[in-house]
Structure 1
Amino acid sequence: MNGRGAGFKRWMGHLLCLSLAVVVLSGCAESGSTAGEGASGPEQLRVTATIGMIADAAREIGGDAAKVTGLMGPGVDPHLYKASQGDIRKLEEADIILYGGLHLEGKMTDILEKMGEGRTVKAVTDDIPEERLRKSGDGVYDPHVWFDVGLWMIAAETIRDTLIEYDPSRKAEYEERAESYLKQLEELDRYAAEQIASIPEAGRVLVTAHDAFGYFGAAYGIEVVGLQGISTASEYGAKDVADLRDMLVQRQIKAVFVESSVPKKSIEAVLEGARRQGHEVRIGGELFSDAMGSEGTEEGTYIGMVRHNVDTIVQALR
């Protein structure tokens, strides 16, 4: 073979090798990991939520796609909560931070808002129409929106939309799980309305340690009276105790309720005052207000917590 033929053969050999390399690299690109994915598929979203109710909704909607961490466990009062160094680390490691808003988290609010400058931070109450929010006498919005299941459905949709915005690749998954969860909430809303309506109208008075159940009362037609204001950070005094005591005696209220996240001593002082005036008032049961029950129990989920509260109230007042 002359030199020209040998050169042509070498050139064809190089071209064949280059073609094979392109095919191999293309195959690796198709079968290998993409940005944000592990060997077995997309990585879990890291979601940190402040209170249990938000964490539970995020788990329902996120499913296996989200690893949800809650900061405040059973019996924890978010109004008085102070973030620890461990909490700050959980917040800093999160892809998404979900919180209540409307100053529910008290002193933590400034930390959460500052973190929003560098990551996805969302208040789940942001999309609730202002006209549907309750205001206290001093013009502060009531943050306990989860006690109106209809409003909590809006919060759930906000959680869904936040997950989709951050992780659009799993949009269909989040939408499907959210649709299923919202149907469960619709059933819960009907259940609460039907059960509270079964209490004789004159006896539909819910007396608790602090004014956490205003949305519940407005949604399901029961009068709500709290010893303290919307936030447990507000102090109650002798006059507050005396006023509530007198109301119990005058209206012959038979039962009041304690809360899992509020010390019982506040309500016990009222009961003792009524007893001295010859009116015996019993504790109708423990309600979950600012925190859910223990993990692994029915009350450790939002739906289970609301059902527990409804059933406890109905059994005591009906």
Structure 2
Amino acid sequence: MRKWGIIFLTLLIHSSLGCAQPTPKIVVSFSILKDLVENVGGEAVTVTSLVGPNSDAHIFEPTPESAQLISEADLILINGLGFEAWIPRLVESTKTKAKIVIASQNIKSRTFVQGNEFSPDPHAWHDVKNAMIYVDNIEKALLGLIPQSTELIQKNAARYRKQLKDLETWIYKELESIPRHQRTVITAHDAFGYLSEAYQIKFLAPQGLSTESEPSVQEVVDLIKEIKEHRVGVVFIENITNERLIRHIAEEAGVAIGGMLYSDALSEKNQPAATYVDMMKINIQLLKSGMLKNK
């Protein structure tokens, strides 16, 4: 009798393993989005990012490996708002059947004006309220893909929303003591417009929304003049941009480098901005320290 019980138990275990659902393959465009998806999906998902940590999605060039990941994906999540200009061609070339979800859907986007051109600002994640909308869209996408994990996904999403609300409260408290006349910051490219509007900080940058754009000599001269007029104490480099231009501006304006901000990508795991929450915290801490040096 005991022997038959063991055989039955063995068959039951093998049957359960055979019925187990394979973990879906989820591909995202860049590292910040990867962290958001992993926080919502938890152990129910495996997520691969096309653009890795400390890498620039603006100038990313897809590889054969990228094409393979897209073609084998069950779900693809992108930022949208023109951030991944290379995605449409990559998707078309692979003929993927995966559903494509725009994580920034329902976000009220900023409009960037450069000359006669109007472009949506894709860097919506720098406002924590927008990050919560990303979470809503991610949760909906994952529930549609793996309904058998509904309880886990909903629990993770609720927990992460609470974490984001706590983060936003912390940001407001960190910045509340800084006088308005000191709230001017210089960065490499115009990636912090949403942070600017949400937390009342004025950002100036030599480059536009994309790191592909190159400022003219006159634009650099005008920025240096503005730094002096606003009595800005420091300028910031970014983890995804070439430091040369900012270091030149700092030298010409006679100001110091205030540190490295994380704009369009997270850091490596052993660096200070390995998650979205860590990225926002280190950025706010650096910005606060820099603004307090303004006169």
Same fold (TM over 0.5): yes
Query: What's 1:317 paired with?
Result: 291
Tell me the TM-score normalized by structure 1: 0.83
Note if 1:156 corresponds to 2:135: yes
- Structure 1's 284 and 40: CA in aligned 2 closer, same or farther, altered over 3 A? farther
Query: What's 1:215 paired with?
Result: 194
Which blocks of at least 5 consecutive residues in structure 2 are unaligned? 1-10
Query: What's 2:279 paired with?
Result: 305
Contact 1:52 1:70 in 2 (8 A): yes
- Structure 1's 316 and 116: CA in aligned 2 closer, same or farther, altered over 3 A? farther
Which amino acid is the alignment partner of residue 135 of structure 1?
T
Whose Rg is larger?
1
Contact 1:72 1:78 in 2 (8 A): yes
Between 1:167-176 and 1:49-58, the stretch displaced more is 167-176
Matched ranges for 1:113-152 at <5 A: 118-128=97-107, 132-137=108-113, 138-152=117-131
- What is the deviation of 1:115? 6.0
Alpha-carbon deviations, 1:164-188, whole Å to 9, x = none? Answer: 1111121121111000011101111
- Provide the rounded CA distance (Å) in 2 between the counterparts of 1:116 and 1:261: 30
* Counterpart among 22, 27, 32 of residue 15 in structure 2: 32
- Provide the rounded CA distance (Å) in 2 between the counterparts of 1:147 and 1:113: 30
Which amino acid is the alignment partner of residue 134 of structure 1?
R
Tell me the TM-score normalized by structure 2: 0.89
Give the superposed CA RMSD.
2.0
* Counterpart among 150, 156, 180 of residue 171 in structure 1: 150
Note if 1:267 corresponds to 2:246: yes
* Counterpart among 288, 291, 298 of residue 262 in structure 2: 288
- What is the deviation of 1:252? 1.3
Alpha-carbon deviations, 1:24-76, whole Å to 9, x = none? Answer: xxxx899836xxxx537332121111111110011111111101111212221
Which amino acid is the alignment partner of residue 42 of structure 1?
Q
Alpha-carbon deviations, 1:288-311, whole Å to 9, x = none? Answer: 001111124441111101101011
- Provide the rounded CA distance (Å) in 2 between the counterparts of 1:206 and 1:228: 14
Query: What's 1:83 paired with?
Result: 62
Which amino acid is the alignment partner of residue 309 of structure 1?
N
Matched residues, percent identical? 29
